[in-house]
A and B are shown apart, each in its own frame.
Chain A
Amino acid sequence: MDFNLTEEQQMLQDTVARLVRGEYSFEKRLEYSKTDLGYSAEFWQQLSELGLTAVPFAEELGGFDGTGVELQSVMTELGRGLCLEPYLQSVILGGGLISQAGNSSQQEKWLPGVASGELKVAVGLQEPQSFYNLSDVQTRAEKSGDGYTLNGRKAVVIGGHCADLLIVSARTSGDDRDTSGLSLFAIDPATAGIERRTYPTNDGFKGCDITLENVKVPADTLLGEEGQAGEVIEYQAGRAVAALCAEAIGVMEEAIAMTLDYLKARKQFGVPIGQFQVLQHRMVDMASDLEQVRSMAILAASVADSEQSDERRRILAAAKNVTGRAGQFIAESGIQMHGGIGMTWEYSFAHYAKRLIMINHQLGDDDHHLEQFASMLQAG
C-alpha cells in the first residue's frame, strides 16, 4: 500500500500548481469569465505547451498514457485556481469518447488535435428531460442517404459555445430510456440546423443548449457502432466523475484554507472568532469531510481507467456522492462562517462555494449517485 504520488506524478502536479499560481489570479479569472470565449486562450496554450492537454493520451501524441491518478493531479490544481478552460470537457471526456469508441481513422483525425489542445471538444449527453440519466435520450438520429439526420435538443453543454467539435448522443433505436440503441456522433458545430443558445453558468463557466433540427451528417461522424454507445457513455462519464471529484479537492482545500485564515484573523467581542468552540467544531467537520473526499477521490482515480465492473460503478457513485455532500457542507459552512463578506462577489470565497455547489450538478448529484449505489446493494 502506498498513497504517495510517484516522483513523476508529483512533478506533474507541481507543474500545474505553479502554472495556476502564476497565471490564474482571482482577478484575472473574473476577467476571463467575462469574455466571449469564457476562459483564457493564453492559459490553454500554456497547458498545451507543457504537454498537459496530452496527459491521458499515448506517447505518439505527446502524452504519457496518464490514467486516473495523473488526471487527478491535474484536475486538483485546476480546481484550486477555479480554472475555466475546457480540460474536463475536451481532454478527458471528449478525448476519452474518441479514444474508446472511435475507429482508427477517426482517432487519427481528431486525437492529435485534442491532445495538442488545438481541437476543443464539447460533449452533449444530457437533454432537457433527462435529469441525470444519460440513457434518457430523445434526440433521434435516422439513417438518410449515406448519413444520418439528427433531431432533438442537448442540454447544458459546458464549453459547447466555442467547441470545434461536438460529440452528442442520439437514439438510433429503442425507447426513450433504453440503455441500448444509443449512438454517438462527432459533428462540426457549423453544420446546418444546429442552433446554440449560449449562457454563462452560475459558477463563471460558459455553456449552451443545442437544438438539432434536421441536421444532416455524413456516416463517418458516427463514433463507434450504431446503437452500442450506452456502455461507452457510462464508462467515460465515470472517468469524468473521478475527474470532478479530483477537481473538488482543489476547490475544497482553498475554501477551507480561506475559512481557516478568516477564523484566525477576524475578531468579534475582542477575540478571534476561531476561539469559539461552535465554529471550531464546524471547521473540524469541514476538514473531516475533505479527508473523506480525498479518500474517495483516490479510490475513484484508481478505478477510473480500469475495466468496467460493478465494483467500479459502486466506487464512482460513492465518490461522487461523498463529494457532492461534502461540497455543499463546505460551501454553506464557509459562507456562514465568513458572514457578510462571504456573500460578496468581489471576495473569492463565494466563487469557490459556487463551484462546489455546481460540481454537484455535473454528471449526477449526491441523490442520483446514492440511488445508483443503493440499486447495487447486495446482502453478500
Chain B
Amino acid sequence: MNLNYTPEELAFRDEVRAFLDQKLPADIAAKVKGFRHLSKEDHLRWQGILNTQGWYATHWPKEYGGVEWSPVQKHIWDEESCRYGVPRSIPFGVNMVAPVIIKFGNEEQKQHYLPRILTGEDWWCQGYSEPGAGSDLASVNTRAVREGDHYIVNGQKTWTTLGQHANMIFCLVRTNTEVKKQEGISFLLIDMDAPGITVRPIITLDGEHEVNEVFFENVKVPVENLVGEQDKGWTYAKYLLTYERTGLAGIGLSKAALAHLKRLASRRLKNGKPLLEDPTFSQRIAKVDIDLMAASISNLRIIAAVEGGGMPGAESSMLKVRGTEIRQSINDLARRAIGPYALPFVEEELDLDYDGEFLSDPDAAPMTPQYFNNRKLSIFGGSNEIQKNIVSKMILGL
C-alpha cells in the first residue's frame, strides 16, 4: 500500500507544471477558471500549443503522433490541467473517432485523417444520438443505402455538440434493416460540407448554443469513408464508448470547481460573515468536499489497477455516477452562494472581455447558467440510470 507518486511521476508533474506555467495563455485560463465559454479560435490556439509540445493525443500510439502516457501520467495531466484552467480538449476527434480509425480503419484513412486531427484542420463532431433514441443508442434510423461508389444517407442526428464548428462528422447509420438492431449499423465518416446536410442550433435551457440537430437529405458519401466493415459499426461504437466513459467522472474538474466555490463563499456574506463560516453552508460544502475526497481516491484505485494492466470495467460507471453527482452539487452550491443575484441573467457579464461595472460579484453571472448547463452531466455519456444498469449487470450479476 503506497498512495504516493514515484520520483519519476513527480518529475513528470514538475514538467507538466513548467509547461503550463510557460505556455498556457492567461486569457484562455481566465475564461476556463471563470466558467466562460471558449471560442473556436481559443480552442484551436491552445490545441496548436499542445500539439507543438507533442501532448495533444494522449490516447494514441506514438507511431501516429500520440504521447503514450501511462494511466498515472494521464491522471497527473488531468489534475494539473484542471487546476491551471486548461481548456478541455474537444474529444470528438482526438479521443473518439481517432482511436476507432487507429483500431479499425484502413491505412489510407489513418494517413489522411490522423494528421488533420492533430493540426486542428479537421474539427469532428459526433453523429450518434437520434431524435427519440435517448439512451438506447442502437436504435439508429438514419439510413445509408449503397449506390455504386457511394452511400446515400438520409435521416437526422441530434445533440450534436459543437457541430456548428465542425467540418467532419462520424455517424452511426443503418445499412441493414433485416437483422437485429445492433447488427445492421455501419460507421461512416461524413464531410459536413457535403450537399444535403443542414445544421440547426438547439438552444439549451441556459441560453447557450452548444448542441445542434444535423439533417441528412440524400447526402452522397464515398464508400471509402466507411470504417471497417459494413454492418459491423456497433462493435466500433462500443469500442469508442469505452474511451468516452473514462474521465466522465470529471474528478479534476470538480476539484477546480470546489476550489472556486470556496473562494466565492469566502467573499459572499451572510449575517455579516463569510458564507464559508456559516454553519449551514459550510456543512453543505464540507459534505461535497468529503464526497469528492472519497471519489478521488476511488478514481486513483481504478487508475492504479489500469496501470497494473487491468481493464477499467463497470467501476468507471460507478464513478461516473458519483463524480457527476458531486459536480452537480458543487454547481448547485455555487448558485446558492450568490443568493438573490442568482436571478439576473446578465449576458454581457458572461463575456470575459466585459469591462463595465459588475452587478455583484464578478463571478456571479455564470453561476446559474452553469448550474443549468451541467444538468447534462447525469444525462450524457450514458445517463446515470444506464450506468447503474451496467453496474447491476456487470458487477452485481443481477
Seen from chain A, the residues whose Cβ lies within 8 Å of a Cβ on chain B are 1-6, 9, 69, 260, 263-264, 274-275, 277, 280-281, 283-285, 287-288, 291-296, 298-299, 301-302, 315, 317-318, 321-322, 370-371, 373-375, 377-380
Chain A residues whose C-beta falls within 8 Å of the C-beta of B1 in the assembled complex: 2-6, 9, 69, 298, 301-302
Docked CA distance A263–B392 (Å): 12
Secondary structure call for the B interface: helix
B289 to chain A, nearest CB (A): 7
**With A321-B290, A380-B262 as given contacts, are A1 and B300 in contact (CB-CB < 8 Å)?**
yes
Chain A residues whose C-beta falls within 8 Å of the C-beta of B291 in the assembled complex: 292, 322
B239 to chain A, nearest CB (A): 24
Chain B residues whose C-beta falls within 8 Å of the C-beta of A371 in the assembled complex: 283
Chain A residues whose C-beta falls within 8 Å of the C-beta of B304 in the assembled complex: 1-3
**With A295-B294, A296-B297, A377-B262 as given contacts, are A284 and B388 in contact (CB-CB < 8 Å)?**
yes
Chain B residues whose C-beta falls within 8 Å of the C-beta of A285 in the assembled complex: 388
Docked complex: B276-292 residues within 8 A CB-CB of A: 276, 279, 282-283, 285-287, 289-291
Interface assignment of B172: CB less than 8 Å from any CB of chain A? no
Chain B residues whose C-beta falls within 8 Å of the C-beta of A288 in the assembled complex: 318, 321-322, 391
Docked CA distance A1–B295 (Å): 16
Chain A residues whose C-beta falls within 8 Å of the C-beta of B259 in the assembled complex: 380
Interface assignment of B39: CB less than 8 Å from any CB of chain A? no
Chain A residues whose C-beta falls within 8 Å of the C-beta of B305 in the assembled complex: 3
**With A299-B3, A373-B289, A379-B263 as given contacts, are A292 and B282 in contact (CB-CB < 8 Å)?**
no
Give 23 CB contacts A-B under 8 Å: A1-B9, A2-B1, A3-B1, A4-B308, A260-B396, A264-B397, A283-B392, A284-B391, A284-B396, A285-B388, A288-B322, A291-B298, A291-B315, A318-B290, A318-B293, A321-B287, A322-B291, A370-B290, A374-B279, A374-B282, A374-B285, A377-B276, A379-B262
Docked CA distance A16–B299 (Å): 29
Docked CA distance A333–B387 (Å): 20
Docked CA distance A373–B290 (Å): 8
Chain B residues whose C-beta falls within 8 Å of the C-beta of A374 in the assembled complex: 279, 282-283, 285-286
Q: Contact between A377 and B5 (Cβ–Cβ < 8 Å)? A: no
Chain B positions 297 through 330: 1 when the CB is less than 8 Å from some CB of chain A, otherwise 0: 1101101110110000001001001100000000
Q: Contact between A281 and B385 (Cβ–Cβ < 8 Å)? A: yes
Closest to B1 in A: A69
Docked complex: B381-398 residues within 8 A CB-CB of A: 385, 388-389, 391-392, 395-398
Closest to B75 in A: A1
Interface assignment of B44: CB less than 8 Å from any CB of chain A? no
Q: Contact between B398 and A274 (Cβ–Cβ < 8 Å)? A: yes
**Looking at the complex, which one of B286, B308, B318 makes contact with A287 (CB distance below 8 Å)?**
B318
**Looking at the complex, which one of A9, A260, A264, A280 makes contact with B389 (CB distance below 8 Å)?**
A280
Interface assignment of B367: CB less than 8 Å from any CB of chain A? no
Chain B residues whose C-beta falls within 8 Å of the C-beta of A380 in the assembled complex: 259, 262-263
Q: Contact between B297 and A283 (Cβ–Cβ < 8 Å)? A: no
Chain B residues whose C-beta falls within 8 Å of the C-beta of A284 in the assembled complex: 318, 321, 388, 391-392, 396
Q: Contact between A280 and B398 (Cβ–Cβ < 8 Å)? A: yes
Interface assignment of B162: CB less than 8 Å from any CB of chain A? no
Q: Contact between A377 and B285 (Cβ–Cβ < 8 Å)? A: yes
Closest to A283 in B: B396
Interface assignment of B53: CB less than 8 Å from any CB of chain A? no
Interface assignment of B265: CB less than 8 Å from any CB of chain A? yes
Interface assignment of B4: CB less than 8 Å from any CB of chain A? yes
Docked CA distance A248–B397 (Å): 24
A76 to chain B, nearest CB (A): 13
Interface assignment of B266: CB less than 8 Å from any CB of chain A? yes
Closest to A326 in B: B294
**Looking at the complex, which one of A69, A280, A295 makes contact with B388 (CB distance below 8 Å)?**
A280
Docked CA distance A374–B397 (Å): 39
Chain A residues whose C-beta falls within 8 Å of the C-beta of B263 in the assembled complex: 379-380
**With A295-B298, A377-B282 as given contacts, are A315 and B391 in contact (CB-CB < 8 Å)?**
no
Interface assignment of B117: CB less than 8 Å from any CB of chain A? no
Interface assignment of B240: CB less than 8 Å from any CB of chain A? no
Docked CA distance A293–B295 (Å): 10
Q: Contact between A283 and B290 (Cβ–Cβ < 8 Å)? A: no
Q: Contact between A370 and B322 (Cβ–Cβ < 8 Å)? A: no
B22 to chain A, nearest CB (A): 24
Chain B residues whose C-beta falls within 8 Å of the C-beta of A293 in the assembled complex: 294
Chain B residues whose C-beta falls within 8 Å of the C-beta of A4 in the assembled complex: 1, 308
Chain B positions 208 through 235: 1 when the CB is less than 8 Å from some CB of chain A, otherwise 0: 0000000000000000000000000000
**Looking at the complex, which one of A1, A287, A375 makes contact with B303 (CB distance below 8 Å)?**
A1
Docked CA distance A302–B266 (Å): 31
